[in-house]
Amino acid sequence: MCGIVGYIGAREATSLLLTGLKELEYRGYDSAGIALLGRDGLRSFRAVGKLVNLVTKVGDYRSQGAVAAIGHTRWATHGKPSEENAHPHGLRHSRVVHNGIIENHAALRAMLAKKFASQTDTEVIVHLFEKHLENMPDASDPELAGLAALRATLDELHGAYAILLITESLPGKILFARKGSPLQFGITADGCHFASSDAPLVGICRETVYLEDGQWGIASADTVRLLDAQGIRVEPKTAALPASSLVAQKEGFRTFMEKEIYEQPRVLADILTGRLRDDAVTLEELPTDWLQRFSGVTLCACGTSYHAALAGSYLLERLARLPVRVEIASEFRYRDPVLDPAGLFIVISQSGETADTLEALKLAKGQGLATLALCNVDNSSIVRTADRSILLRAGIEKGVASTKAFSAQVMTLWLLALYWGTAKATLCRDRLSREVIAVRAAVGVMTPPQGIHDRIHRLSKRYLHGHGFFFIGRDLFYPLALEGALKLKEISYLHAEGYPAGEMKHGPIALADARLFTIALMARNSLYDKVRSNVEELSARDSTIVAITAEPFDLADDIIQIRPYDHPMLEFFEMLTVVQLLALEVATRLGNDVDMPRNLAKSVTVE
């Protein structure tokens, strides 16, 4: 998804901006650009596709002396990926980069009645800004005039934005604003640096200021005038940034996704550190008397995190006997939902910046509910908004297709269910002890057994065509089926659906023939016979069956044998690795970019 960087100072700015944009690359984008205002006046460079194309466009150009510079990676929302639609957008005197969506851009275009150079919503910002700047009654103080023009512009925008703007009347300055899309800055001895997330600033700044919604202002190399929505000057609140570079290396793996799949045992071990004492689970983030207040739970998330929420609902119901509802954030936020004020609202997010999840969280908070975030990124918007948070401890996840964050989410939800169940006394001693033994064992389960990756690699060549995949499972293995199908479609671009195994006969079985591939999640500890019957019904109609199971199953065309366990969660985690590897191998054989699949973004900061 779109990313922003900015810099004011005397360092060479093209390489600084390009390095910053490189740090944002993993988020997904389809064009990029930079603009600089310095000794040479305003200079812009834009290119479609990967950053290397922008580097070619920039060529030998290097900034000289003090500059104000902005850069952007764009993930197309309004208008196709093209050079005209790439940011920065400009008019005669100014250039702007923007993350978010200007919802009333069509009305603003009509009102402005100007010729536009792009199809983007962003371009209206620079048109409005220049119009207001020209009409400022007293332009003798360019800084005040610039701020007033920005304020008048912001007042006309509906939607979400993080904006950086440079203009010729303000050399050495950047105007900025944030509403609904993240933006932050840090000041060092050599200048002021902006970014839409931590990554470009790590290694450059020791501290950062995360802008709050509604904040805006103007920055120079060594000072920032930060204003609130009413225009009142506010003191920037600084937060520490990690000292080391976040650049994760592939460590010998072909892709980040593969590396992240193999990191899962370590992630699960990290999650358990300090949280298991003999037969007890402790989550220091949540005092038990706080948890005891709640009569039920709403889990809310998007994509893979939503699948983790669904898995969590089975665990919280079963282990803590709590009423649980699960919501897709993008649906929830416009449904005028009726919420139980005595319930706990839990959002789950890898990035902590997903716009739909963040807005759902704000909605629940606005209705007075207590809120908890399960999130992988400290200091993210979601963590900062929720009353309490549990960090997922998965480490930076670079692959757009989420893998280790999902296992971290499910493990954290399992711990939460056990901790809460203990507090509510819904678990007898024996049950708790069996669960804790399984929790500890899960770490080893996530190391793929000898030979399984090879087997999946060999098998994958038979599953490159066909008219679709159905991943089926029941109970906890239904969310896993959804996740397996999502992984496959995200990176292979093949059609795949996750379905509750018992529902196939209510419609989808009509699709069954030899070119329909059924991936059956057949857990021996969870409704095995029921799922077996559902798979037999599909086999009888000639669907090609791949069974993932520890049991012998002679109706399968292919079996991926997992190890025999006596707990469904252990089967869950081993099957998870299998479906992740299957997606990886199919996509790799098809020659796709596994880490940056087409059309997708790592962090979905627009709705």
Task: Give the residue numbers annotated as catalytic, written as ranges.
Answer: 2, 602
Residue nearest to ligand M6R (CB): 303
Residue 102: strand pairing partners: 159
Query: Which CB sits closer to ligand M6R, 515 or 598?
Result: 598
For ligand M6R, what does the binding mask look like between residues 485 and 524, x meaning CB under 6 A? -----x----------------------------------
400 binds ligand M6R (CB under 6 A): yes
Supply the DSSP symbol for 510. Answer: G
Instruction: Identify the CA nearest to 259 among candidates 269, 249, 274.
Output: 249
Query: Which CB sits closer to ligand M6R, 208 or 305?
Result: 305
Interaction with ligand M6R in 403-462: which residues (CB under 6 A)? Answer: none
DSSP run (H or E) holding 209:
strand 207-210
302 binds ligand M6R (CB under 6 A): yes
Helix, strand, coil % in the chain, rounded to nearest 5: 40, 25, 40
Query: Which CB sits closer to ligand M6R, 208 or 605?
Result: 605
- Cβ 301 to ligand M6R, closest distance in Å? 6
Query: Which CB sits closer to ligand M6R, 181 or 350?
Result: 350
351 binds ligand M6R (CB under 6 A): yes
Supply the DSSP symbol for 90. Answer: E
196 binds ligand M6R (CB under 6 A): no
- Cβ 602 to ligand M6R, closest distance in Å? 7
Among 304, 381, 492, 526, binds ligand M6R (CB under 6 A): 304
Supply the DSSP symbol for 551. Answer: S
DSSP run (H or E) holding 110:
helix 105-112
d(CA 500, CA 558): 21
354 binds ligand M6R (CB under 6 A): yes
Query: Which CB sits closer to ligand M6R, 321 or 384?
Result: 384
401 binds ligand M6R (CB under 6 A): yes
User: Cis peptide leading into 88, omega within 30 of 0?
Assistant: yes
Interaction with ligand M6R in 225-284: which residues (CB under 6 A)? Answer: none
Angle between helix 568-589 and 429-445 (nearest 10): 20
604 binds ligand M6R (CB under 6 A): yes
The two structure tokens encoding residue 527? 């409704």
Report how many residues bind ligand M6R under the rule CB under 6 A: 16
- Cβ 400 to ligand M6R, closest distance in Å? 5
330 binds ligand M6R (CB under 6 A): no
380 binds ligand M6R (CB under 6 A): no
Written as one string, the DSSP assignment of 452-503 is HHHHHHHHHGGGS-SSEEEEEE-TTHHHHHHHHHHHHHHHH---EEEEEGGG
- Cβ 486 to ligand M6R, closest distance in Å? 6
- Cβ 604 to ligand M6R, closest distance in Å? 5
- Cβ 302 to ligand M6R, closest distance in Å? 4
d(CA 84, CA 508): 44
The CB density around residue 103, as the number of other CB atoms within 10 Å, is 14
Instruction: Identify the CA nearest to 17 among candidates 41, 39, 34, 38.
Output: 34
Query: Which CB sits closer to ligand M6R, 130 or 585?
Result: 585
Stretch that binds ligand M6R, among 132-140, 270-278, 291-299, 398-406 (CB under 6 A): 398-406
303 binds ligand M6R (CB under 6 A): yes
- Which of helix, strand or coil describes residue 274? coil
In whole angstroms, how far apart are CA 236 and each of 211, 220, 591? Answer: 8, 14, 47
Supply the DSSP symbol for 516. Answer: E
Among 215, 350, 381, 518, binds ligand M6R (CB under 6 A): 350
Among 357, 539, 543, 544, binds ligand M6R (CB under 6 A): 357
d(CA 522, CA 24): 40
β 191-195/184-188 pair status: antiparallel
- Which of helix, strand or coil describes residue 317? helix
Stretch that binds ligand M6R, among 179-187, 189-197, 349-357, 569-577 (CB under 6 A): 349-357
Query: Which CB sits closer to ligand M6R, 359 or 571?
Result: 359
- Which of helix, strand or coil describes residue 267? helix
- Cβ 300 to ligand M6R, closest distance in Å? 10
Say if CB 65 and CB 91 are below 8 A apart: no
- Cβ 356 to ligand M6R, closest distance in Å? 8
- Which of helix, strand or coil describes residue 379? coil
Among 402, 518, 580, 588, binds ligand M6R (CB under 6 A): 402
Residues that bind ligand M6R (CB under 6 A): 302-305, 349-351, 354, 357, 400-402, 490, 600, 603-604
